[in-house]
Amino acid sequence: MNAIGQSERAERLLWLGIETSCDETGVAVVEERSGRTRVIGALLTSQVNRHRPFGGIVPELAVREHARNLPLLVAQLLGGTGLAPMDLSGIAVTEGPGLASSLLIGNAYARAMGASLGLPVFGVNHLEGHLFSPFLEGAEPIPFPFLGLVASGGHTLLATVEGWNRYRIVSSTSDDAAGEALDKIARLLGLPYPGGPEIERLASKGNPKAFRFPRGFPETGDLRFSFSGVKTAVRYFLEQHSERRSEPLFLSDVAASLQDSVVRTLCEKALWAAREGGFRTLAASGGVLANRHLREGLEEGCRDAGLSCRMAPSALCTDNAVMIASAAALKSAAGIPASLGEDIDPGLPLAV
Ligand code: KG4
Ligand code: ZN
């Protein structure tokens, strides 16, 4: 596949983004002009209600939903934006990491559409989509280098970003991702999936200092993440205090306290790494960044440390196709040719 020609750069280019790595079917059209992006339209079909009775994502169900919804969403998006398929300049699709069968649906669709329309197909790493989502619709150039924090249901990592394709993982989780731990803890609290927003809701009435739950690798300068300890601690705590579950604010206090433990861990490690690494910008993204408590903590910490704090817009923290289309559009504008691996890669690393 060819990159879109340099000579066309001043024109508006339209990228269709497709995201099917997990349980959300996302499509978006993003316009790129002179290295700036603008969202023309985006649609997302959440499968949450289909998976909720099972307490987590059922891959077999996810794949059927993607297969059914993706063509409908693309038609609806193009119809709604008044665009014809021939108006598109390229197609961006998540090629990994994610659920193999879910990724395959998006990839097969993107390849077929690209081949039939003669359009370049740009494979985007899902984590790269998150990593750059704090700069969506930015008026300024991306401030390389920056330190990226991605906290989602599948990953929790810190990465240095020197430029496009120049990423180095500084730290990741040794067990659960932050969102994964929140989802599992929510189940212990009797809350539905996905647990992160449910815990935030319950925590809003609680006292974050009511109980002390452990934090993984709390020593200053230890950048490793671990969230299974807080999950286990909450499980034992709830078992030991089962008679208090009916007290009006007991579960709210538990939620607020455990949320505080997760948020503090994320904030302290990210801020320490950004300061010590001499970065001027901390860019945070991923589903967990939808959490208001975390956003406030990072904002305040960055302010105190004199860092520029960039966060993905709240509505675009969880999985979406805008971030996929934008990453492809900006990379293409930076002269990086579109390419799509031979196959999807459920374990595709951000950096090798
Ligand atoms: O980025 P994302 O949509 O999917 C992955 O790439 O994994 O992240 C989903 C995760 C889930 O674990 C969900 O519980 C968490 O993000 N999440 C939140 C909030 N909203 C979603 N966690 C804490 N607070 C929230 N408001
Ligand atoms: Zn994600």
Ligand 1: does its nearest atom lie under 6 Å from the Cβ of 153? yes
Show Cβ contacts of residue 323 under 8 Å, excluding neighbours closer than 6 positions: 17, 19, 129, 130, 132, 133, 136, 285, 312, 316
**Tokens found for residue 262:** 């997760």
Ligand 1: does its nearest atom lie under 6 Å from the Cβ of 192? no
Show Cβ contacts of residue 227 under 8 Å, excluding neighbours closer than 6 positions: 156, 173, 175, 176, 177, 178, 180, 181, 216, 262, 265
* Distance from C-alpha of 111 to C-alpha of 44, rounded to nearest angstrom: 20
Taking the centre of ligand 1 as the mean of its atom positions, its distance from the CA of residue 333, in whole angstroms, is: 30
Say if residues 324 and 19 touch (Cβ distance below 8 Å).
yes
Ligand 1: does its nearest atom lie under 6 Å from the Cβ of 97? no
* Distance from C-alpha of 48 to C-alpha of 33, rounded to nearest angstrom: 35
Task: Please determine, for residue 298, whether its predicted confidence score (pLDDT) is greater than 90.
Answer: yes
Categorize the per-residue pLDDT at 2 as very low, low, confident or very high, splitting at 50, 70 and 90.
Answer: very low
Q: Locate tokens 């740009």: which residue?
A: 122
CA atoms within 13 A on the CB side of 156: 27
pTM of the model: 0.94
* Neighbour tally for 16: CB within 10 Å: 32
Task: Give the number of whichever ligand sits closest to the CA of residue 187.
Answer: 1
Range 193-216 average pLDDT: 96
Mean pLDDT of the chain: 94
Ligand 1: does its nearest atom lie under 6 Å from the Cβ of 265? no
* Distance from C-alpha of 172 to C-alpha of 224, rounded to nearest angstrom: 6
Neighbours of ion ligand 2 (CB under 5 A): 152, 319
Range 162-187 average pLDDT: 97
Q: For residue range 89-136, what is the model confidence (pLDDT) as tens digits? A: 999 999 999 999 999 999 999 999 999 999 999 999 999 999 999 999
Taking the centre of ligand 1 as the mean of its atom positions, its distance from the CA of residue 38, in whole angstroms, is: 24
Q: For residue range 243-261, what is the model confidence (pLDDT) as tens digits? A: 999 998 999 999 999 999 9
pLDDT of residue 50: 87
* Distance from C-alpha of 215 to C-alpha of 213, rounded to nearest angstrom: 7
Categorize the per-residue pLDDT at 171 as very low, low, confident or very high, splitting at 50, 70 and 90.
Answer: very high
pLDDT of residue 179: 97
Ligand 1: does its nearest atom lie under 6 Å from the Cβ of 156? no
Q: Which numbered atom of ligand 1 lies nearest the CA of 195?
A: 14
Closest residue CA from atom 7 of ligand 1: 153
Higher pLDDT, 158 or 194: 158
Task: Please determine, for residue 8, whether its predicted confidence score (pLDDT) is greater than 70.
Answer: no
Q: Which numbered atom of ligand 1 lies nearest the CA of 317?
A: 1
Categorize the per-residue pLDDT at 216 as very low, low, confident or very high, splitting at 50, 70 and 90.
Answer: very high
Task: Please determine, for residue 35, whether its predicted confidence score (pLDDT) is greater than 60.
Answer: yes
* Neighbour tally for 242: CB within 10 Å: 9
Percent of the chain with pLDDT over 90: 87
Categorize the per-residue pLDDT at 11 as very low, low, confident or very high, splitting at 50, 70 and 90.
Answer: confident
Q: Which numbered atom of ligand 1 lies nearest the CA of 154?
A: 7
Taking the centre of ligand 1 as the mean of its atom positions, its distance from the CA of residue 118, in whole angstroms, is: 36
Taking the centre of ligand 1 as the mean of its atom positions, its distance from the CA of residue 196, in whole angstroms, is: 6
Q: For residue range 39-65, what is the model confidence (pLDDT) as tens digits? A: 999 999 988 888 888 877 888 999 999
Q: Which numbered atom of ligand 1 lies nearest the CA of 179?
A: 12
Site to probe by mutation for ligand 1, drawn from 157, 230, 258, 288 as the one with most ligand atoms within 8 Å of Cβ, is 288
* Neighbour tally for 127: CB within 10 Å: 28
Ligand 1: does its nearest atom lie under 6 Å from the Cβ of 129? no
3-state secondary structure 302-316: HHHHCCEEEECCHHH
pLDDT of residue 55: 73
Closest residue CA from atom 13 of ligand 1: 196
* Distance from C-alpha of 323 to C-alpha of 193, rounded to nearest angstrom: 23
- At residue 31, the 3 state secondary structure works out as strand
